[in-house]
A and B are shown apart, each in its own frame.
Chain A
Amino acid sequence: MLIQQLVNGLTLGAVYTLLALSFSLVMGILGILNLAIAELFMIGGYLGFTLIQAGFPLPVAVLAGMTGAAVIAIVIEKVGYQPLRDAPLVTPMLSTLGFSIILQNIATNIWGSDPLQLPIYGDQYTLGPVNIGEMQLLVLGATVVLVALVAYIVQKTPMGRALRAVAENREVARILGVSADRLTMLAFILSGSLAGVAGVLIALHYGAITPYLGVEIGLKAIAVMVIGGTRQIWGALVAGPLIGIAEVLTVAYGGSQVRDFVVYGFMILILLLRPQGLLGGARSDQGQRV
């Protein structure tokens, strides 16, 4: 049972990692919480579902989820963030909240509030006591690949270096000739695409989605981002499975009713003991003014 629980925990952790990374791409670079990311994840899931139902292969569904979420991310950036970039941080955060309300309503009107379901996608394998699905393996694999890809983009490419420069100091970056506005857009697109891809893969793995899919998991993903450190791409890869496994083990050892208490308590502990996150990098004792 323990091995199966670890597999469960890793899968859940992968879900958290992907979402936490989406949050941290905007948070780490712009210092704002894009609360609509949870809904981009949800929309990505619905787009993927719709295409799979229509008989398209998985790569097409993933691409559609990614593109759809990225396009909405562009709209959010143009309408909800760009005009408010000089306002206190809480203002753009609330405008993204407005978008998340709108997206939930749109999804309800298109797909209904009851869960939309697909048959279990892909094969199921049984290895001794452990049960694992093809989609589950794909989610795990994709998480590692996507994190590596994002890490590569942010750390090795000129675009990534520019992003980090903006994150470090917007004014200095501007003086050095980096177009902050263009890069802000880039951060939103990158984060939106990631949420969209995650939405398709994860929705297919669980096979049932509702317009409120992102609400609970989004809040947990924010906790995971904080634990991993908002400025560290690899932080999410460590923190996601850590929280996933902590959650699963709490349930396994009789604490299913206090699970959330444990997860958020852990987040607060990390914030207090290692304010810079597990892997360091962020400086939570010197956050921007709200």
Chain B
Amino acid sequence: MSRIKSNLPRVLGTVAAVTLSAMIGGQAVAQEIAIGAVVPSSGPFAEWGRSNTVTLKMLEQQTNDAGGINGAKLKITILDDAAKPAQAASSLRKLAGDEKVLAVAGPLTSSAAEVTFPVANEMKVVSTSQASSKPGVAKLNRPWAFRNTIDEGVLAKTTVPFYKKAFNIKTVAVIFDAKDATASTVGKVIMPAVLKANDIIIANENDLLSFNTGDLDVSAQVTKLKALNPDGVVVSADYSQAITVLREMKRQGLIKPVVGATQLISSAILKAAPEIPVIAPATFYATMTGPAPEKFTATLTPLLRKESGLPKDIEPSMYDANIYEIVSMYIDAIKKTGVTGKPADLEADRTKIRDHLAKLEGFAGLGGPIGFNDDGDAIKAFYVLQGQNGAWDTKVKGCSSAPGHPAC
């Protein structure tokens, strides 16, 4: 009660806004709009989940400071799945079933998405992953599953030709993380197909090299890469694992340009071997230019660095940008489709959000306009980046849809 008193002017404002919007829209709106998020704040991806949490709290604050959604306050309930698929699925059940949220952002990993998306369909609530890029995961779980990421198969088709041209690549050798589902699909299937389509010879086509997540020593693999003497190296792994490979390449003197998937994009990988050029696609990176991304980075970076449990030199990641966009899209849907947020309308509200996302076009994201394709994956601009000497540099702008689409 005391809280209400101290916030009296604000509450009155909210009440006025609610009444106003109710009068204008002819519809009553709940006091609070509930949205959920599933992020891995503990376990091996803790840093991603924790920075996602800071990002969402920032967005919640920004939204409410700007008067909320149609006058109602935004409340984001964030649950930690410890990067465990089972916990991600039960978190979604808790959010959708107990907390009655309108839509869920997350889960982050593809393994968690594989288990959680079927639950989203069962519960009839939208779930949008901020990082999963394993091919076809959302496609298998339509209509409620979405991913604000681009399928790696699409990205490679732009990345590889640039890589070939920029470094005059005729032969490559492939190494991938066999334990990581996304990395192994990219390394074993996607990259070989795209390389062949671009007339690049794979020196170890019948003996693709692999290592396992968590391996400390990849010296044997790198020695073999070196013996193949390729023009470049395909490293398909999550950046924290790719760092191990890059460092070993540097140590053994294999200074050849590296190409990979979005999994490589991070500030950390730039420190691994600054003299080795790394080519990878991204939809966002911390040093990206433009009014929207610069404002996002400038606001979020100090908040991240203030947070205990996060390193002092942390920068916003692509996944922070993605989850920020996801919830922004939900807010957009709620504002535009007459979502009431009232318990009685829950099912109808969730359907409205789903339908809005499915036909979304040209939503103003951080890196450009965003929409979704029939597979539930994002149609958005992406950039082929070259990382070298400690910085990412945009080389090519691409788009994950046919030319002429508003997102491009």
A residues adjacent to B (C-beta < 8 A): 1, 4-5, 8-9, 11-12, 15, 105, 108-109, 111-115, 117, 120, 124, 126, 131, 133, 202, 206-208, 210-213, 215-217, 247-249, 251-252, 254, 256-257, 259-260
A180 to chain B, nearest CB (A): 36
B250 contact from A11, A120, A202, A216, Cβ within 8 A? A120
Which of B63-71, B220-228, B369-377 lines the interface with chain A? Answer: B220-228
Indicate whether B363 reaches chain A with its CB closer than 8 angstroms: no
Nearest B residue to A216, CB-CB:
B214
Given A113-B46, A208-B247, A256-B211, CB of A11 within 8 Å of CB of B219:
yes
**Distance A206 CA – B216 CA, assembled complex (angstroms):** 7
B residues adjacent to A (C-beta < 8 A): 42-48, 178, 207, 209-217, 219-221, 223-224, 226-227, 240, 243-244, 247-248, 250-253, 266, 268, 271-272, 308-311, 314
Are B209 and A109 within 8 A (Cβ)?
no
A42 to chain B, nearest CB (A): 11
**Distance A43 CA – B223 CA, assembled complex (angstroms):** 29
Nearest B residue to A210, CB-CB:
B240
Residues on A with C-beta less than 8 A from B311 are 111-112, 114
Are B220 and A5 within 8 A (Cβ)?
yes
Are A114 and B240 within 8 A (Cβ)?
yes
Given A1-B227, A120-B250, A208-B272, CB of A115 within 8 Å of CB of B240:
yes
Are A252 and B268 within 8 A (Cβ)?
no
Are A124 and B251 within 8 A (Cβ)?
yes
Residues on B with C-beta less than 8 A from A249 are 220
**Distance A206 CA – B273 CA, assembled complex (angstroms):** 12
**Distance A143 CA – B222 CA, assembled complex (angstroms):** 24
Are A202 and B216 within 8 A (Cβ)?
yes
A108 contact from B46, B251, B271, Cβ within 8 A? B46
Are B178 and A117 within 8 A (Cβ)?
no
Are B221 and A251 within 8 A (Cβ)?
yes
Given A8-B219, A114-B266, CB of A210 within 8 Å of CB of B44:
yes
B278 to chain A, nearest CB (A): 14
Are A251 and B216 within 8 A (Cβ)?
no
Residues on A with C-beta less than 8 A from B42 are 105, 108
Given A4-B223, A112-B310, A251-B224, CB of A15 within 8 Å of CB of B217:
yes
Residues on B with C-beta less than 8 A from A9 are 220
Are B209 and A256 within 8 A (Cβ)?
yes
Residues on B with C-beta less than 8 A from A254 are 207
**Distance A4 CA – B211 CA, assembled complex (angstroms):** 18
A-B contact count (CB 8 A): 112
Residues on B with C-beta less than 8 A from A112 are 46-47, 309-311, 314
**Distance A29 CA – B394 CA, assembled complex (angstroms):** 59
Nearest B residue to A212, CB-CB:
B44
Given A133-B251, A251-B224, CB of A109 within 8 Å of CB of B219:
no
Residues on A with C-beta less than 8 A from B212 are 216, 259-260
Residues on B with C-beta less than 8 A from A11 are 217, 219
**Distance A211 CA – B219 CA, assembled complex (angstroms):** 21
Are A12 and B219 within 8 A (Cβ)?
yes
Given A113-B45, A213-B216, CB of A1 within 8 Å of CB of B310:
no
Residues on B with C-beta less than 8 A from A108 are 42, 46-47, 309
Are B223 and A1 within 8 A (Cβ)?
yes
A-B contacts, 16 listed (Cβ < 8 Å): A5-B220, A8-B219, A8-B220, A109-B308, A112-B311, A113-B45, A114-B240, A120-B247, A206-B216, A206-B217, A206-B248, A210-B44, A216-B214, A256-B209, A259-B212, A260-B212
B238 to chain A, nearest CB (A): 11
Are A114 and B223 within 8 A (Cβ)?
no
A260 to chain B, nearest CB (A): 7
**Distance A211 CA – B248 CA, assembled complex (angstroms):** 20
Given A111-B311, A112-B314, A260-B212, CB of A206 within 8 Å of CB of B247:
yes
Residues on B with C-beta less than 8 A from A115 are 240, 243-244, 268
Given A4-B223, A207-B247, A213-B216, 20 additional A-B pairs, CB 8 A: A1-B226, A9-B220, A12-B217, A15-B217, A108-B42, A109-B308, A113-B46, A114-B268, A114-B311, A117-B243, A124-B251, A133-B251, A212-B44, A215-B214, A216-B212, A216-B215, A216-B216, A248-B219, A251-B209, A251-B220
Nearest B residue to A208, CB-CB:
B243
A259 to chain B, nearest CB (A): 8
**Distance A89 CA – B248 CA, assembled complex (angstroms):** 40
Residues on A with C-beta less than 8 A from B268 are 114-115, 117
Residues on A with C-beta less than 8 A from B211 are 256
Residues on A with C-beta less than 8 A from B224 are 1, 251-252
**Distance A114 CA – B317 CA, assembled complex (angstroms):** 12
Given A1-B223, A112-B310, A117-B271, CB of A131 within 8 Å of CB of B251:
yes
Are B44 and A113 within 8 A (Cβ)?
yes
Are A113 and B47 within 8 A (Cβ)?
yes
**Distance A247 CA – B211 CA, assembled complex (angstroms):** 11
